[in-house]
Structure 1
């Protein structure tokens, strides 16, 4: 018997019981669509992480202090002396105070305040939309000047020009000298769009902060990163006499770590979703066993008029594969639709479709039909004609 004839017979059987067929395919549909959707979300997350760091390059290191007290403090002048070290291009120590009260006229909001120096903007690959950024003189004279993010500017001034306007930062008046272009989050997760950037010495005095918790160090090139990291480790160890009070990260390590965490979570979710395919396969086996029982007399008649064992085997195997394949195709369409619609449902989450994953999921669904349809098909093919004809 030709495959096309077997396919036609399988289609006729599927059409004769549409509801049962749909319910049988449901596990496969859910499994395939879940795998495609979860993988696209995981890949979208990885690409989002890459975008977050791509503007920073691979030659930026971040030093974070973990301990508390005077024994784990970094001083601005000492850090800036390292800038003359071979391989180091620039250093930008920072102080950050979250949820700080910012006032303008009658409007009060809480934003992040970042104290840093004139190197910070270039190291973060940020740009000025209007005005200027901090200058060395602002740090030397502890000027009360501020550069604000786009969200801050929009909230307080709308479409008006905020340059030379004054805002109240933690009880002190700061003159706005610049507005940043929209940038998003930096490596520490702080959104520059919702931040107020001021000279570090000014912030240290006004906020009564004596210690620097985070410092950005830029190597002259990507090849110099390891050398610069070794210099920083030696400096920090000589200062704190310990390796447990600080962490040094470079951009590539952060990207790799976050992508690895994202990939691990995605793989775990995909493994859970794949269980639905196995459940769907069990459902197909169950229905095919029922079908064999219902069509026992048909099998007996076909065998009595000359149908061979392989013809019966192929008939039921093609039917099981057709059901699982149709479920896989519908699941593929649903999965692609969900992947495309997800960014509209959750705008903060990107997705990235993978045609190879969709193809593998579809082929796996067809394979499930073959594997779980083999036992019922084999059982049907082994029925003896005389016993089959006696079956009621």
Structure 2
């Protein structure tokens, strides 16, 4: 008999997470009730259309995660319980064993869901960061023993500014969902934070490469078509999209469309998405590298970089930045700053000021959303 998908509205209050989401995740891991969690806000409508809960669920799927759409359209990723368990088990092994987790991410995204999966497998209850709550207050509810949390880079930057002493109390702070600027990572570690960079996505049941090293059982290779990942953490494919599944999942691998390199020490370095590369004057520019350079400028609090068509250069590099308090960034100064660090082609030729960088429901910067809304 075809299995039906249970769709859970986005839980926001800690009581909703512990009272509804966590039991639903446990049931999904047992294979008894396939689950999907809707994102909060307007994204819920589009997510429900992707999930199509009235349609029979594909065989073998126990949890469906709707991607953020950062590559051009959200998809429902079909995850079996075995992949979720493999990812969570390998993570706990890498970090030093089970512990208590602080949930600071939405459970509609794989990083938040994996906090619940790891807690369920460890037999622990996570602490849940309530909307508007400080990190210290949430951490105070955690028991002794090993303590973990998972953040996106924006959160890491915010808590380093406001509550660095709380971050130091965690045995590991996983940082993923978007590229982590080397300067931010260096600052966190210099301040005694056990920051661990993670690379992965919904299609790999979350982070599967920690500090450049694949988790046990995960295999990574890089070629001209980008990074390919194999191992027990892979999803089955995409909800109601056999063509997309066949294109992305082939030969026992998932093709990420991310560019990267593997060093002599075997560590993976991700250099950006193949889709996002800006080709300006015949030179490939990685937006995330330019964003990282801009965030190091004293007048810039945050940045998003993308490309636009240009009659002379083919594409031009465009920067949208959030000014630091009291600052007024100027294009000429930012061009000189970036050029001195990454070379002339990477220097932005257009500048926009933002009040804040909008994010997708996963916490990733909405680069395409910014590109669609800012005008010259």
Q: What TM-score, normalized to structure 1?
A: 0.25
Larger Rg: 1
Q: Which has the higher strand share?
A: 2
TM-score (norm 2): 0.26
Structure with the largest fraction of helix: 1
| Structure with bigger RCO (C-alpha 8 Å, 6+ apart) | 1
